[in-house]
Amino acid sequence: MDVTIAAAALLILSPVLLVLALLIKLTSPGPALFIQQRPGRNGCLFPMLKFRTMHIHLEDRTGFIQATGNDPRVTPLGRFLRRTSLDELPQLINVLLGQMSLVGPRPHPVRMLAGGMDYEDLVPYYRHRLAVRPGLSGWAQVNGLRGPTTDAARAIARIDHDLAYIQNLSILLDVRIILRTLVEVLRGSGC
């Protein structure tokens, strides 16, 4: 299902992907794609693709410094891409390559902070979420648990949702998450 849907989406969305890449190149210097190593299944690192949303000289490739609401590092086009989740579309290539799934726990940057501390220190069972391939969207995201992880309780709830997804894996649940993701993206609230 992952490969078929990702291949079809890439084919259908290829004009949009090309226009977005061109707009990024025209509005700010640097590459159109941002590539960052993220832990995948069993913690194996893979190069996750995103459209670049920040000024190239202000990016944090480590992922240690999370973007905030009015982050000056984000370009005007980048704000739009982030708000609509269009910056995530290149991850369809990661899905096609088998590094990600359409649905699963979102891949966090290595050593990501949550509630001001290392996520793995805050949530002792954090690594259990690495039992499956990370996803383009997930149960936590469609339940409103996306964005900054400065609030410890919300950060823990995000991991709890990831683990609930893993414990209840099914094609039906994946279809439900995909449909909810599409609705949120079409509403413009991202996911």
pLDDT tens digit sequence for 129-142: 999 999 999 999 99
Query: For residue 146, what pLDDT is reported?
Result: 84
Residues of the chain with pLDDT under 50: none
Task: Report yes or no on whether pTM surpasses 0.85.
Answer: yes
CB 84 within 8 A of CB 51: no
Residue 53 has φ and ψ, to the nearest 5°, of -115, -5
pLDDT of 66 reads 67
pLDDT at 68: 62
CA–CA separation, 49 vs 59, rounded Å?
14
- The predicted-structure confidence for 93-133, as pLDDT tens digits, reads as follows 999 999 999 999 999 988 888 888 999 999 999 999 999 99
Distance CA 126, CA 108 (A): 11
Between CA 53 and CA 78 the distance in angstroms is 4
